[in-house]
Amino acid sequence: MTDLDLRGTPCPLNYIRTKLALEGLAAGQQLQVILDRGEPEQMVADGISAAGHQVDVSPHADDQGAVVLVITPHG
């Protein structure tokens, strides 16, 4: 699994970085993205889901102001 920590990264830059990281994944790999709660979480999760990827969101274990997105690319 590839990890990407985007806490503190403004919108829409966090979405763009997530999308670029997805494009660089090998077949069968997942991407784990750490984001700030609120707008960054919503913007990235909604945009990536709309592109057809599976997105699972969970709270960050050590940072209550962040969430972890595990993204499984389609096809």
- pLDDT bin (cut points 50, 70, 90) of residue 11 is very high
Q: Does residue 73 have a cis bond before it (omega within 30 degrees)?
A: no
Under the banding of pLDDT at 50, 70 and 90, the label for residue 27 is confident
Q: Is 27 exposed, middle or buried (0-12, 13-18, 19+ CB in 10 A)?
A: exposed
pTM of this structure: 0.94
∠58-60-61 over CA atoms, to 5°? Answer: 115
**Where along the chain do its domains lie?**
2-26+38-70
| pLDDT given at position 74 | 86
Is the pLDDT assigned to residue 10 strictly greater than 80?
yes
Flag whether pLDDT at 58 surpasses 80: yes
